């Protein structure tokens, strides 16, 4: 008999009733160090007092009015995002996939509005993940997410990860732009080299294309810059963000330059829930903290410390782990054992992490962790790795 909750997830057998900072407390009374953070969502940890206050305060006033009317929280959040980034304008939605949908539609509309509606194709990259809607699974191009869902949404041309020559070859009269994650998250914490990001920017400029970035996972200070593209010194034309923007409240956004937003006029796009007062109150509260002067630099610093400590774990456990990759607090351990085995061994020892493609274990803790939390994590990691590689033989166990 099918479960009442549609069984589309392979869930770990644990549920939580409460969280505090980087810790989660399960319904059966166990405490976990949470280096999953809701998959890079709970950037300020669980139950952050400033976010709880913002949400409860707004909850007593107004939840939802629709976009038939002005929403002051949207204006405030948009102005703050515009002031802090390349963008001139922002559309609010409820998830990463929706932020990508808006980005894809905007890139197509840009060319259509300029009299080139045949330019609707985006070049994408192997290993990409852009969400689970029909268009975003087509953009991601991963067979396991596409199979059985009918004809592919047309308009995406995939090339090998970081393959500039292939991008050049792919550009044609129907190309609208390039869509890329500066660091692939689900794909295995794979960073696009900075020179490649710069070369993509130049190629787009040269051919009149739009550079569309998916910073749903890498954005909002996760990599030790407010947005990961800042590491390469370039700016996009359009950028999708979500995950950490609401610190756990569902909210996404599509940021764009004025030029890229040509064509996005009244009536061409919308969302019932997008930018509702609750989401805006919480996202503004997230920015209060992420925009504090020392916040982003602190993420870079603690990220460096964690990465350096992880490198020592790799050295000690060469049979279990191959290397450490990533930037800031978007880090991955490339495993020699099955990544799922390490995820389970860590959970059994009170630490939560998430798998990724390429047999990687992803570490995406709250951005607010301290050196003490890093040391706690390293202790658990060493113990878990040892348990996987120094298994007593059957004889020894007798």
x/- site string to ligand PLP, residues 280 to 319, per CB under 6 A? ----------------------------------------
Rounded Cα distance, 247 and 241, in Å: 12
Query: Strand 321-327 relative to strand 330-335: parallel, antiparallel, unpaired?
Result: antiparallel
- Of 216, 279, 286, 299, the one binding ligand PLP (CB under 6 A) is 216
- The residues facing 32 across adjacent strands are 24
Please choose, out of 70-78, 151-159, 180-188, 231-239, the segment that lies near ligand PLP by the rule CB under 6 A: 180-188
x/- site string to ligand PLP, residues 242 to 281, per CB under 6 A? xx--------------------------------------
Which of the residues are catalytic? 129, 214, 243
Q: Does 214 bind ligand PLP (CB under 6 A)?
A: yes
Rounded Cα distance, 202 and 225, in Å: 22
Give the interface size with ligand PLP as a residue count (CB under 6 A).
Answer: 15
Q: Is 115 exposed, middle or buried (0-12, 13-18, 19+ CB in 10 A)?
A: exposed
Q: Are residues 362 and 339 in contact, defined by beta-carbon separation less than 8 angstroms?
A: no
Closest CA to 40 of 339, 337, 359, 303: 303
Q: Does 131 bind ligand PLP (CB under 6 A)?
A: yes
Give min distance, CB of 36 to ligand PLP, in A. Answer: 13
- Of 121, 130, 222, 325, the one binding ligand PLP (CB under 6 A) is 130
Q: Does 241 bind ligand PLP (CB under 6 A)?
A: no
The token pair at 3 is 């479960």
Q: Does 101 bind ligand PLP (CB under 6 A)?
A: no
Q: Does 129 bind ligand PLP (CB under 6 A)?
A: yes
What are the C-alpha distances in Å from 308 to residues 3, 141, 243, 359, 371? 44, 34, 26, 21, 12
- Of 36, 74, 85, 95, the one binding ligand PLP (CB under 6 A) is 95
Please choose, out of 178-186, 198-206, 320-328, 358-366, the segment that lies near ligand PLP by the rule CB under 6 A: 178-186
Please choose, out of 146-154, 210-218, 226-234, 348-356, the segment that lies near ligand PLP by the rule CB under 6 A: 210-218
Q: Does 238 bind ligand PLP (CB under 6 A)?
A: no
- Of 217, 223, 271, 339, the one binding ligand PLP (CB under 6 A) is 217
- Of 38, 45, 73, 185, the one binding ligand PLP (CB under 6 A) is 185
Query: Residues for the chain: how many in total?
Result: 398
Please choose, out of 7-15, 162-170, 211-219, 272-280, the segment that lies near ligand PLP by the rule CB under 6 A: 211-219
Query: Within the chain, where are the H helices?
Result: 37-40, 49-59, 72-84, 96-113, 134-140, 143-146, 164-170, 194-207, 277-290, 295-316, 339-348, 371-389, 394-397
Rounded Cα distance, 103 and 266, in Å: 16
Give min distance, CB of 185 to ligand PLP, in A. Answer: 4
Please choose, out of 95-103, 116-124, 199-207, 361-369, the segment that lies near ligand PLP by the rule CB under 6 A: 95-103
Q: Are residues 78 and 230 in contact, defined by beta-carbon separation less than 8 angstroms?
A: no
- Of 38, 45, 96, 248, the one binding ligand PLP (CB under 6 A) is 96
The token pair at 91 is 């559309």
Report CA 230 to chain centroid distance, whole Å.
16
Give min distance, CB of 343 to ligand PLP, in A. Answer: 18
Q: Are residues 261 and 90 in contact, defined by beta-carbon separation less than 8 angstroms?
A: no
Query: Strand 156-159 relative to strand 121-125: parallel, antiparallel, unpaired?
Result: parallel
Which parts of this chain interact with ligand PLP (CB under 6 A)?
Answer: 95-97, 100, 129-131, 181, 185-186, 214, 216-217, 242-243
């Amino acid at each position: 008999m099918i479960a009442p909750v549609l069984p589309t997830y392979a869930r770990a057998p644990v549920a939580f009733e409460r969280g505090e900072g980087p810790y989660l407390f399960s319904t059966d009374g166990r405490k976990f160090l949470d280096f999953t953070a809701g998959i890079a969502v709970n950037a300020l940890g669980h139950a952050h007092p400033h976010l709880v206050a913002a949400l409860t305060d707004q909850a007593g006033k107004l939840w939802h009015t629709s976009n038939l009317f002005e929403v002051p929280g949207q204006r405030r959040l948009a102005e703050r995002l515009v002031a802090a980034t390349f963008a001139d304008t922002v559309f609010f939605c409820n998830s990463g996939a929706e932020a990508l949908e808006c980005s894809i539609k905007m890139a197509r509309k840009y060319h259509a509005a300029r009299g080139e509606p045949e330019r609707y194709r985006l070049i994408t990259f192997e290993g990409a993940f852009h969400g689970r809607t029909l268009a975003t699974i087509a953009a991601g191009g991963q067979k396991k997410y596409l199979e059985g869902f009918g004809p592919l949404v047309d308009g995406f041309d995939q090339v090998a990860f970081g393959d500039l020559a292939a991008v050049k070859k792919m550009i044609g009269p129907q190309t609208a732009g390039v869509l890329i994650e500066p660091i692939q998250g689900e794909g295995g914490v794979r960073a696009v080299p900075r020179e490649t990001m710069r070369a993509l920017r130049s190629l787009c400029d040269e051919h009149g294309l739009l550079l569309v970035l998916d910073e749903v996972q890498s954005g909002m200070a996760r990599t030790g810059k407010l947005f990961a593209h800042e590491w390469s010194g370039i700016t996009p034309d359009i950028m999708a963000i979500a995950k950490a923007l609401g610190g756990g409240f569902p909210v996404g956004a599509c940021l764009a330059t004025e030029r890229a937003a040509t064509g996005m006029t009244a009536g061409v796009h919308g969302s019932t829930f997008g930018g509702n007062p609750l989401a805006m109150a919480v996202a503004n509260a997230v920015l209060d903290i992420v925009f504090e002067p020392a916040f982003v630099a602190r993420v870079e610093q603690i990220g460096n410390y964690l990465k350096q400590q992880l490198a020592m774990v790799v050295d000690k456990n060469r049979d279990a782990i191959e290397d450490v990759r990533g930037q800031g607090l978007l880090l991955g351990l490339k495993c020699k054992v099955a990544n799922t085995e390490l995820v389970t061994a860590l959970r059994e020892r009170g630490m939560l992490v998430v798998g990724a493609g390429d047999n990687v274990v992803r570490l995406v803790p709250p951005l607010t962790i301290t050196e003490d939390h890093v040391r706690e994590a390293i202790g658990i990691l060493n113990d878990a790795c040892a348990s996987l590689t120094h298994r007593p033989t059957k004889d020894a166990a007798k």
